[in-house]
Homo-oligomer: A and B are copies of this chain.
Amino acid sequence: MSLGTKLSKQFVRHISDKASRFVPKSGVYPKGFVVGGIHSGVKKDGKTLDLALLQNTFGKDASAAAVFTTNKFKAAPVQVSSKILKEKKGQGINSIIVNSGNANAVTGVQGMKDAEDMVLVTDSVLENSQHSTFVMSTGVIGNNLPIDNILSGIPKLALNHLGSTHEHWINCANAICTTDTFPKLVTKQFRIDEDVYTLAGLCKGAGMICPNMATLLGFFVTDAPVSPQALQQILKHAVDRSFNSITVDGDMSTNDTIVAIANGAAGGEVIESNSSSSERYAKLQHEVTDFAQKLAQLVVRDGEGATKFITINVKDALSYKDAKEIASTVANSSLFKTAMYGKDANWGRILCAIGYSDVSQANSVIPDRTSVKFVPVDGSEHLKLLVNGEPEKVDEERASQILQDEDLIIEIDLGTGAGQEATFWTCDLTHEYVTINGDYRS
């Protein structure tokens, strides 16, 4: 364990017993990457980790892919990273620099220069060729970065605090957090043919989370060999079904970015995009999607102020798009989310939200074919609430029992006969959410 790790561990946020369930005690990490995190002086408390760095040390250029927010007011780092991805066509992006505590968003000309300088200094210190680094920022919007602190923090972090131990990864995950109550880190090993590959990823979330692109900040890396085109396709597929299928508060940030980097350090035949029908491609896509869902679900687990983790399954819709739109509308309804917080089986609010979804206006919802039920996660019997548009005589005691659980699955069957489905993950809307967001900047 390096000195850096020891030092920074003291400054890591306190993680409650409840949240610590979601933080791995150990992990197997992909070959050829080092990471780390330090306090550089962005966050005002003078100690919490706020600068994270990842470097590909395999010695060969990595493939990179990214999805960015579609918000019109794109933060400076989003604009800069997006330009670099385009310029490099996903080839030869070997590091990621991230600060938390300030989003460098809506910061004018100075903001663009600051983001560019973060790339410049990182490339220089790591002896990369120019424009080999993605930059990300997260935190408050509208203030310029304390850029001197960051630029002097980068060499310190790069030279003394990088490594590949579990502690380094935890530090890195901590350093990108803002209102998160625990660092979000997932690792996974899988096999394609004879080759064993590893995925490691981290993200931050909590508030300003709503789909329609990468919905927060995160990246994951693998030692599998993948072409940039294949990696971009697989990332998009995975993000649609993970980070774009979660919500905390319906707000889409100016900074949302999810990055994937593959350095091929574990060897094997390169997975190409024109092999998209191949078994190796399909297997990797399956593994990355599953992995991205696990990572994205951690964001909902840590939704600002959340006490519940709710899965919304919409079944038998006319299309995947319809199913997802309806699931998303329910997942974003303030009334539904407060009812879940109150452990109130007020399923009328679910119906109400289905009824005003955009899709519903286009005749994809037929009230007298719609059914809704609670599915307890403990495997006990389902509780039917509505069957083909007619309300069931609900056993309120049983409903209340089911709602005591932290986890809940809500199944909405549209009965169209077309059989399409989608899943969305959300949390409840609580007093604590209001406390956190009513007092974010202080």
Q: Which residues of B contact A339 (CB under 8 A)?
A: 437-438, 440
A282 interfacial by beta-carbon distance below 8 Å: no
Contact: A355 with B254, CB < 8 Å?
yes
- From B103, B332, B391, A107 is in contact (CB under 8 Å) with B391
Contact: B72 with A361, CB < 8 Å?
yes
Q: Which residues of B contact A205 (CB under 8 A)?
A: none
A11 interfacial by beta-carbon distance below 8 Å: no
Q: Which residues of B contact A140 (CB under 8 A)?
A: 346, 348
Query: Quick one: CB contact mask for A175-210 with B, threshold 8 Å, 1 for yes?
Result: 000000000000000000000000000000001101
- From B141, B338, B354, A72 is in contact (CB under 8 Å) with B354
Q: A72-B356, A391-B106, A431-B431 are in contact. Are A335 and B437 (CB under 8 A)?
A: yes
How many chain A residues touch the partner (CB < 8 A)? 65
Q: Which residues of B contact A142 (CB under 8 A)?
A: 346-348, 351, 385, 391
A178 shortest CB reach to chain B, Å: 13
A314 interfacial by beta-carbon distance below 8 Å: no
* CB nearest to A438 among chain B residues: B342
Contact: B338 with A437, CB < 8 Å?
yes
- From B105, B349, B365, B434, A434 is in contact (CB under 8 Å) with B434
Q: A107-B391, A338-B438, A441-B344 are in contact. Are A355 and B251 (CB under 8 A)?
A: no
Q: Which residues of B contact A143 (CB under 8 A)?
A: 391
Query: Quick one: CB contact mask for A64-82 with B, threshold 8 Å, 1 for yes?
Result: 0000001111100000000
Q: Which residues of B contact A138 (CB under 8 A)?
A: none
Contact: A429 with B439, CB < 8 Å?
no
Interface residues of A in 400-442 (CB under 8 A from B): 429-431, 433-435, 437-442
Q: Considering the chains assembled together, what is the distance between the CA atoms of A437 and B333 in angstroms?
A: 12
- From B73, B341, B351, A367 is in contact (CB under 8 Å) with B73
Q: Considering the chains assembled together, what is the distance between the CA atoms of A73 and B347 in angstroms?
A: 13
Q: Which residues of B contact A352 (CB under 8 A)?
A: 71, 73, 105, 141, 208, 251-254
A386 interfacial by beta-carbon distance below 8 Å: yes
Excluding A141-B349, A207-B335, A254-B352, 18 further A-B contacts by CB distance (< 8 Å) are A71-B356, A72-B355, A73-B354, A105-B348, A105-B351, A106-B389, A109-B390, A142-B351, A249-B334, A250-B334, A251-B335, A251-B349, A253-B352, A254-B355, A339-B437, A341-B434, A430-B438, A431-B435
Q: Please name 10 pairs of A and B residues whose Cβ atoms are closer than 8 Å in the assembled complex, sorted by A.
A: A71-B352, A72-B355, A141-B349, A142-B391, A252-B356, A338-B433, A341-B434, A341-B438, A344-B441, A431-B434
* Chain A residues within 8 Å of B, Cβ to Cβ: 70-74, 103, 105-109, 140-143, 207-208, 210, 212, 249-254, 332-335, 338-339, 341-342, 344, 346-349, 351-356, 360-361, 365, 367, 385-386, 389-391, 429-431, 433-435, 437-442
